[in-house]
Chains A and B, each alone.
Chain A
């Protein structure tokens, strides 16, 4: 890429003291291995020290929100898969959580538990990749391979569950596409047994590794006030001491029933963010372990009276309500009733608060489907975090923020 000379709105604290002639401009991305995806940052350097950074985005803007106005509520879930593509299940849950908030649907207990389990498994796989990427960028390739192997195990669970290993499109309005089978439960139990050991191994590899600690401790410090003022959520905010986690604060799905802790740190640096993610994986395991052993019986989709989820085959063949409901849901111009309303609902996605602001206009598609992406606000933090640090810290900070371009740009 060509090196663009960019206009800088604000200069770093050091810029005033030195002559501008010493500074030179380095273009970082949009195609660079450490950006993982398509981020671009124009850095202003004084030697090896970053004086200022200007993030540039939009290299993966694909019109998700416009597409949301043309796809039905059930179709759009396939697109949300491609939003934060390292934890697609969490996006599916977020989208249909928001749709159900608009429609006013209450899930069956079994469905709530199932969604909780898959959202937590998605959180584990997300944290594995984002921590693995921090390791990869700071030179710990083995750690990345450990992390990715465990992701494959989770992929395998999801594939058994719904047939797709990666882009799952699992949830439906008022339910999920497939119920848990005994094989899935068995695989999740197997994962619960083997994963803590691997997690211990991973922690032994990196958590007290001198090089890793030196490269991440004290780098990219975000204070609590700044975190709130700049809209940080999720692990990034919790590493700075913001005790905000929607799983506890607004217990959606079945989170109110389970015993788990919110992980917080006060340092606010890259190392704290790494530790938060490691610890959150253990908490997620606790939730999954409780949920899988106490999985409620009963139907997984909401009943016929709600008119949103397809009835079971038994109901279609034996009851008139089932037949009518099946017919109406299958017809392209019928579908279910959507109120003339607007609502916002969010879940605690692995990256932070992932919410959708949906405007319904009575039709079968959303009039407006706004996604509130955590990555956008976290990427806006970047210049603030990197000022004064060295060029090699850029990758550590970027990795610890876990910015996913597709969610950033949509």
Chain B
């Protein structure tokens, strides 16, 4: 990659001052911060004030079958700054039986649908989300299909419809 992202070391230093030492890592120019779940909202709010005004994405990874994974679900917040072009990845790890994170909709309106999607596909509950409903799957669907214990072909939901023949129509 000929282009390297702008450094975020000053932000990380401020973050350590404010919240104590957090686990950080660097991979190919991308900086990641692992934040404990109770602190997640405060850290993200602080980062927004530091200039990370654009929430690129909220997503989740299910580490059920991942080697040497300590937690089941890892949330990913991708932040970017429109002024300085810095990028920062914030990771929050949660576990069964009731994976819950505080919603960031009050910080970024963009998180509304992204969090609904994570709830739909992974079953992570976002507290104080204004409208936490399923986004892409039908409302009567019960599973969370992107979890690793859900099979690719599904559990037969896709065949469960009435058949219309020429005689019916």
17 contacts between A and B (CB under 8 A): A9-B131, A63-B152, A66-B152, A67-B152, A229-B53, A230-B110, A231-B55, A243-B82, A256-B2, A344-B76, A344-B89, A353-B56, A361-B65, A361-B66, A367-B61, A377-B113, A380-B110
Does residue B8 face the partner (Cβ distance < 8 Å to A)? no
The residue in chain A whose Cβ has the minimal distance to the Cβ of B61 is: A368
List residues of chain B with CB within 8 A of the CB of A104: 1, 28
Q: CB distance A376 to B117 under 8 Å?
A: yes
Question: How many CB-defined contacts (below 8 Å) exist between A and B?
Answer: 114
Whether, in the assembled complex, B156 has its beta carbon less than 8 Å from a beta carbon of chain A, the answer is no
Give the residues in chain A near B13, CB-CB below 8 Å: none
Q: Which of A63, A243, A340 has the most CB of B within 10 A?
A: A63
What is the CB-to-nearest-CB distance from A102 to chain B, in angstroms, rounded to a whole number? 8
In the complex, chain B residues 76-115 whose Cβ is within 8 Å of any chain A Cβ: 76, 78, 82, 85, 89, 108-110, 112-114
Q: Is B33 an interface residue (CB 8 A)?
A: no
Which one of B27, B57, B110, B130 contacts A357 once the chains associate, using CB atoms below 8 Å? B57
**A409 adjacent to B136 (CB under 8 Å):** yes
List of 8 A-B pairs having minimum Cβ-Cβ separation, nearest first: A231-B110, A58-B136, A61-B136, A372-B57, A380-B113, A370-B59, A230-B109, A249-B85
With A101-B1, A343-B27, A357-B76 already in contact, the answer to whether A231 and B54 are too (CB < 8 A) is yes
Interface status of A275 (Cβ within 8 A of chain B): no
Residues of A within 8 A of B110 (CB): 229-231, 377, 380
Q: Which secondary structure dominates chain B's binding surface? A: loop
Query: Which size bracket describes the interface of B in this complex?
Result: 35 or more
Q: How many residues of A contact B (CB 8 A)?
A: 49
Q: Are B85 and A340 in contact (CB under 8 A)?
A: no
A159 at interface, CB cutoff 8 A: no
Name A residues whose Cβ lies closer than 8 Å to a Cβ of B: 9-10, 57-58, 61, 63, 65-67, 69-70, 101, 104, 106, 226, 228-231, 242-244, 249-252, 256, 340-344, 346, 353, 355, 357, 359, 361-362, 367-368, 370, 372, 376-377, 379-380, 409-410
Across the interface, which residues of A come within 8 angstroms of B138, CB to CB?
58
Q: Which residues of B contact A67 (CB under 8 A)?
A: 152
Q: Which residue of B lies closest to A60 (CB)?
A: B136
